[in-house]
Amino acid sequence: MIKIAIVGGTGYTGVELLRLLAQHPKAELRAITSRKEAGTKVADMFPSLRGRYDLAFSDAADAELRACDVVFFATPHGVAMAQARELVGAGVRIIDLAADFRLADPGVFERWYKMPHSCTELLAESVYGLPEMNREAIRKARIVGNPGCYPTAALLGFLPLVEAGLVDTDHLIADCKSGVSGAGRKAELNLAFAEAADNFAAYAIGGHRHMPEIVQGLNRVSKTPVKLAFTPHLVPMIRGILATLYAPLKRTDVDLQALYEKRYAGEPFIDVMRPGSSPDTRSVRASNTIRIAVHRPQGTDLALVLAAEDNLVKGAAGQAIQNMNLMFGLPETTGLGALPVVP
């Protein structure tokens, strides 16, 4: 069994980790922390987990994190890097669902997250946790920076085109929509029901924190530097991301459908849909699947890619467990076989 702790387990990604780990045959949850909720039973806060967990939340200072095999950080940015040295020194592996170990350049991290990186020596060895790009490195990693929800959809959508050198990387566009759970479990006016319902709006138009993460990932596989226009939108639903991606083609004699089918052949969580398809968020809800459709709009030299995922699963907790499976030598799909929930 894999001995597991979750630091910061009261948010949406924390409870999603709990839901998925409850179905994992090799997972043994030893601790889950929350300073504010210390002493509260997990099942009292989340009745959906009644009968699955008898644990109570504990203060992080009292939790025996060093006795675990892996610690998931479902915390605000800055928490994981503050504890990483001690845990890694004790032989504990780390999967951070925040941004502390996603960006390789500490200067870029400081610019976008408004704090200096306090653990740069471990940042240098951390692995970006997108299995479809970094599977072998993840297997050996001591620290994994779990990708953001938007970057997961955008990177997997663009990846075959950029790897093959088929598109003009100066003019990539990612037009992405997310449900309100992507903002986290917090009280903010724009997330209130009366504000978000029956509404549709773009946000962070001047620059979103996930943009450098997408560019970093694409630059690793691109022969030329990537320039990206990325605009996120908030839509009145709870879960899901739909990314609509545009890339100017340098060649128009390529079978884009065959390119995507070949690149993602054998990938357990990527569904390349039939020609002419359009994935929707409901078709992936509560699953670790991402559905991708590729189009060539009539009369254009563009590739248009649609990617749909559940932002809390493949975009967060499910992908974190996928990474854990790789790190501990398990089949990648272990504990992640649940079908999407419809309706």
Q: Which of 68, 119, 149, 176 is catalytic?
A: 149
DSSP annotation string for 260-286: HHHHTTT-TTEEEPPTT----GGGGTT
Beta strand 127-128 with 302-309 is unpaired
Element (H, E) at 32: strand 27-33
Answer whether 85's CB lies under 8 Å from 134's CB: no
- Based on the residue annotation, tell me whether 176 is a catalytic residue of this protein: no
Helix boundaries (H) for the chain: 12-21, 42-45, 79-89, 106-113, 120-123, 131-140, 149-163, 193-196, 210-219, 256-263, 318-327
**CA distance linking residue 85 with residue 215, whole number of Å:** 28
Beta strand 127-128 with 93-96 is unpaired
Element (H, E) at 302: strand 302-309
Q: What does residue 152 show for φ and ψ, rounded to 5 degrees?
A: -60, -50
Helix boundaries (H) for 32-184: 42-45, 79-89, 106-113, 120-123, 131-140, 149-163
Tell me which residue of 126, 144, 9 sits closest to 74, measured CA to CA.
9
Alpha carbons within 13 angstroms on the beta-carbon side of residue 307 total 28
* SS3 state of residue 189: helix
Which amino acid type is present at position 226? V
Beta strand 127-128 with 172-178 is unpaired
Q: Report, as residue numbers or ranges, the catalytic residues.
A: 149
